[in-house]
Amino acid sequence: MKKVILNMLLLIGVAVFISACSKDNNNEIAPAKTYVLVHGAWQAPYAWLNVKADLERSGNKVILVELPGHGADQTAPQNLTIDVYREKVISAINKVDGKVILVGHSLAGVVISAVAEKVPSKIEKLIYIGAYLPANGQSLLDLAGTDAASLLGKSLVPSADQLTLGVVQERITDIFIQDGTADQKALVLQNYRVEPAIPFTNKVVLTDANFGAVPKYYIKTLKDQAISPELQNRMIAAAGLKSVYSINTGHSPFISKPDSVAILLSNIAR
Confidence of residue 20 (pLDDT cuts 50, 70, 90): very low
3-state secondary structure of 37: strand
104-262-221 Cα angle (round to 5): 55
Confidence band, pLDDT 50/70/90 cuts, at residue 30: low
Cα–Cα distance measured from residue 91 to residue 78, given in angstroms and rounded to the nearest whole number:
21
- What is the rounded distance in angstroms from the CA atom of residue 241 to the CA atom of residue 244? 7
What pLDDT, in 10s, does the model give residues 60-70?
Answer: 999 999 999 99
Cα 11 to Cα 4, 8, 195: the distances in Å are 11, 5, 67
User: Taking the alpha carbons of 156, 142, 204, 106 in that order, is the dihedral positive or negative?
Assistant: positive
In angstroms, the CA 197 to CA 187 distance is 23
For residues 90 and 228, is the Cβ–Cβ distance under 8 A?
no
Per-residue pLDDT of 106-152, as tens digits, reads 999 999 999 999 999 999 999 999 999 999 999 999 999 999 999 99
Would you tell me which CATH number, out of the four given (3.40.50.1820, 3.40.710.10, 3.30.470.20, 2.40.50.100), belongs to the domain 32-269? 3.40.50.1820
Domain ranges of the chain: 1-30, 32-269
Instruction: Decide: pTM greater than 0.85.
Output: yes
Name the residue with higher pLDDT: 22 or 110.
110
* Residues 244-256, mean pLDDT to the nearest whole number: 98
The beta-strand segments (E) located in the chain are 34-38, 61-65, 100-106, 123-131, 156-158, 164-167, 195-196, 216-221, 244-247
Could you tell me how far CA 106 lies from the centroid of its own chain? Answer: 8
Give residue 121's region: left, alpha or beta (phi > 0; psi -120 to 50).
alpha
- CA nearest neighbour of 129 among 213, 32, 29, 47: 47
